[in-house]
C-alpha cells in the first residue's frame, strides 16, 4: 500500500488514481495523520501532495517530521517537495513570478525517479516536458540531497536522497502535461518502494465485500441512497455482501434532472433487486423553499429537510444496526 498525504492540493485525487493505474493500492489520508497510524499501516511508500500554501505561511499544513525517519520512501510533489526541503533544513524562496504551464525540464541525473527518461525524440537529450504550477521554489536542497533536475526558472526542480529514499519534484508528474510523469511514478513505486503491480479494482471489491459480510453478520443495515456515485457504489458493495439485509432509502426531493429519480428506482429496485424505499417528498421540499432566494439558505434547508425525511423513514424500519454512507 502507498499513502498519499493530502495537503489541500487540487490533484490529490488524481495522484491516487495514477498510483492505482499502476496496479498499486493507494489511500488518501489527511496531512495531519498521526505517525502512529502510519507506522501501524506499514505503507511501502508515502506521497506528499501539492497544496496552495507557502511553507512560511502562519497556518501552513505540516506533517510530523518523524515521517522522514521511518525508513519509508517519500515522494514530495510541488508543495510536498517544498515542505520536505523546509523540514529538513533546505531553503525555500518566493519567486518573483509564478512558474505556470508546460516547461522544459533538464534532467541532471538519470537515476531513481528519472531512470529511463528522455526518450522523446522531439526534445534534446536529457530533457523532458513537465507541468509547473508554483510560486515558491527551492533554492537550496537539504544536506544529503542532490539536485536531479532543473528548469530555466527553477534551479532545483527535483531532489533526491537515495540513502534515505526521500525524493521531491517541483512539477506535477500526475498530469497528462507531464508526458513521462507515469514513468517517474512507476520508478518511484516499483524501483524505489518495491511495490508489486498486483492490485486491481476487482480484487479491492472482492476484499471489501468479504470484510463487510464478516462485520455485519446477520444484522440489519440502512443506506441513504442519493443516486450519486458515492452512495450508489457503497450501496451496491454492501448489497453484494449481505443481500436483502440492506435497506436503501431514496429521498426524492424533486431537484433531480427529468427522469433521473425514475431511473434510480428502476436501476436499484428492479435491476439489482435491492430493498429500496422510494420516498416522494417533492411537495414537502418545495413548500419549505417557498419564497427563499438566497442560495446558502436554500442549501441548509434542503440538507436539514433531507435529514428529517430520512429519519422518519428510518424509524419505520425498526432497529437498525449499521448505517451506510457514501461520503463521510
Mean pLDDT (whole number) for 220-246:
95
Fold agreement (2-192, 201-324): yes
Could you write out the DSSP letters of every residue in 174-194?
A: TSTTSTTHHHHHHIIIIIIS-
Q: How far is CA 9 from the centre of its chain?
A: 9
pLDDT in tens, 277-324: 999 999 999 999 999 999 999 999 999 999 999 999 999 999 999 999
| Three-class secondary structure of residue 308 per DSSP | helix
* Model pLDDT for residues 66-80, shown as the tens digit of each residue: 999 999 999 999 999
- Domains of the chain, residue spans: 2-192, 201-324
Per-residue pLDDT at 126? 84
Helix (H) or strand (E) holding 130: strand 127-140
Q: Please answer whether residues 156 and 139 qualify as being in contact, where contact means their C-beta atoms are separated by less than 8 angstroms.
A: yes
For the whole model, what pTM was predicted?
0.76
- Residue 135's pLDDT is 80
CA–CA separation, 147 and 168 (whole Å) = 10
SS3 85: helix
* Strands, sheet with 275-280, edge to edge from the N-terminal-most edge strand: 275-280, 246-252, 221-224, 322-324
Question: pLDDT per residue over 12-38, tens digit each?
Answer: 999 999 999 999 999 999 999 999 999
The DSSP symbol for 231 reads: H
Residue 42 burial (C-beta neighbours within 10 Å; 0-12, 13-18, 19+): exposed
CA distance 116 to 288: 62
* Cβ atoms < 10 Å from Cβ of 229: 10
H helices present in the chain, as ranges: 12-21, 35-41, 79-87, 181-186, 201-216, 229-242, 260-265, 282-288, 295-316
Question: What is the number of alpha carbons within 13 Å of residue 61 lying toward its C-beta?
Answer: 17
Give the residue among 22, 20, 35, 24 at the shortest CA–CA distance from 72: 35
CATH 3.40.50.2300 assigned to domain 201-324? The reply is no
* Residues 252-279 pLDDT 10s: 999 999 999 999 999 999 999 999 999 9
pLDDT at position 11: 93
Instruction: For residue 160, name the pLDDT band (cuts at 50, 70, 90).
Output: very high
* Each residue's pLDDT tens digit, 134-143: 888 899 999 9
* Adjacent-strand bridge partners of 166: 74, 161
CATH 3.40.50.300 fits 2-192, yes or no: no
Instruction: Give the count of beta carbons closer than 10 Å to the beta carbon of residue 157.
Output: 28
Where in the sequence numbering do the catalytic residues fall?
A: 78, 172, 174
Amino acid at each position: 500500500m502507498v499513502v498519499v498525504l493530502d495537503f489541500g492540493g487540487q490533484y490529490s485525487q488524481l495522484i491516487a488514481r495514477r498510483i492505482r493505474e499502476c496496479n498499486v493500492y493507494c489511500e488518501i489520508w489527511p496531512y495531519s495523520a498521526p505517525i502512529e497510524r502510519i507506522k501501524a499501516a506499514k505503507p511501502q511508500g508515502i506521497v506528499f501532495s501539492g497544496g496552495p500554501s507557502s511553507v512560511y505561511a502562519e497556518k501552513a499544513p505540516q506533517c510530523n517530521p518523524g515521517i522522514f525517519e521511518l525508513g519509508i520512501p517519500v515522494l514530495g510533489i510541488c508543495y510536498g517537495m517544498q515542505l520536505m526541503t523546509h523540514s529538513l533544513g533546505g531553503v525555500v524562496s518566493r519567486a518573483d513570478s509564478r512558474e505556470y504551464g508546460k516547461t522544459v525540464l533538464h534532467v541532471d541525473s538519470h537515476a531513481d525517479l528519472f531512470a529511463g527518461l528522455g526518450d522523446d525524440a522531439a526534445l534534446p537529450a536529457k530533457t523532458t516536458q513537465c507541468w509547473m504550477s508554483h510560486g515558491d521554489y527551492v533554492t537550496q536542497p537539504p544536506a544529503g540531497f542532490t539536485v536531479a533536475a532543473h528548469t530555466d526558472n527553477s534551479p532545483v526542480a527535483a531532489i533526491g536522497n537515495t540513502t534515505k529514499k526521500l525524493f521531491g519534484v517541483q512539477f506535477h508528474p500526475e498530469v497528462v502535461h507531464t508526458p513521462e510523469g507515469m514513468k517517474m511514478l512507476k520508478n518511484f513505486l516499483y524501483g524505489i518502494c518495491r511495490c508489486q503491480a498486483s492490485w486491481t479494482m476487482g480484487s479491492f471489491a472482492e476484499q471489501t465485500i468479504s470484510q463487510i459480510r464478516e462485520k455485519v453478520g446477520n444484522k440489519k443495515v440502512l443506506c441513504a441512497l442519493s443516486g450519486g456515485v458515492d452512495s450508489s457504489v457503497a450501496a451496491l458493495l454492501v448489497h453484494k455482501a449481505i443481500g436483502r439485509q440492506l435497506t436503501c432509502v431514496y429521498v426524492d426531493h424533486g431537484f433531480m434532472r427529468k427522469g433521473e429519480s425514475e431511473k434510480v428506482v428502476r436501476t436499484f429496485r428492479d435491476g439489482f433487486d435491492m430493498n429500496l424505499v422510494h420516498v416522494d417528498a417533492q411537495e414537502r421540499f418545495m413548500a419549505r423553499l417557498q419564497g427563499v432566494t438566497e442560495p446558502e439558505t436554500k442549501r441548509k434547508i434542503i440538507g436539514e429537510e433531507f435529514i428529517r425525511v430520512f429519519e422518519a423513514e428510518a424509524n419505520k424500519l425498526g432497529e437498525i444496526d449499521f448505517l451506510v454512507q457514501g461520503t463521510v
